[in-house]
Amino acid sequence: MKKQPGSRKCFLCGRQNPIGLKLEFYEDSEAEQVRVEFNVSDDYQGYPGVVHGGIVAAVLDETAGRAMILHGTDDDLFATLRLTVRYRRPTPTDTPLTAVGWVERVGGVGAKVAGEIRLLDGTVTAECAATVASVPEEFRTGWDAEKQYWKVYE
């Protein structure tokens, strides 16, 4: 699988964010999905032993949105216009998890993407549907200084 770029300060993929999750995303081109294997510590719990719902939503948002890179380039930045999350069961902390994202449809205002968080046995703990679109040009101008840090980190 091909590794996707990460950034410097992003909460999810930022390599230099001291409180970030430091997730590493991979492209499964055969399945047309983006995948990340991760573990969330108790530092990010809502209830004891359960990942906070906001963290679950953030992981789903990032994973589903990154699926757009599968059909473009690493420079195809996106913004989420709408995110709907369905929490199917508690997502446990300190447990191996996999998040998967994919593109459902491209066209219109942007694209429809979706994602899931799964336990090792395949049980889905949460799922999302989202609408994403290209970021506005004024955002891209501010991104130029940070772009050097958007790369594949070994």
Nearest to 119 by CA among 39, 31, 55: 39
Look at residue 75 and tell me whether its pLDDT is greater than 70.
Answer: no
Nearest to 31 by CA among 98, 81, 120: 98
% the chain with pLDDT above 70: 97
Task: Map out the domains of the chain as residue ranges.
Answer: 26-140
pLDDT tens, position by position, 90-139: 999 999 999 999 999 998 888 999 999 999 999 999 999 999 998 887 77
Q: How many helices (H) and strands (E) does the chain have?
A: 2, 7
Helix (H, G, I), strand (E, B) or coil at 24: coil
Look at residue 73 and tell me whether its pLDDT is greater than 70.
Answer: no
Provide the whole-model pTM: 0.94
Nearest to 49 by CA among 94, 4, 89: 94
Q: Which CATH number fits domain 26-140: 3.10.129.10, 2.60.40.1930, 3.40.50.2000, 3.90.1150.10?
A: 3.10.129.10
Q: Spell out the residues 6+ positions from residue 149 whose beta carbon is closer than 8 angstroms to its own.
A: 7, 8, 9
Which tokens is 99 given? 């998040």
Q: What is the mean pLDDT of residues 37-51?
A: 98
Look at residue 146 and tell me whether its pLDDT is greater than 90.
Answer: no
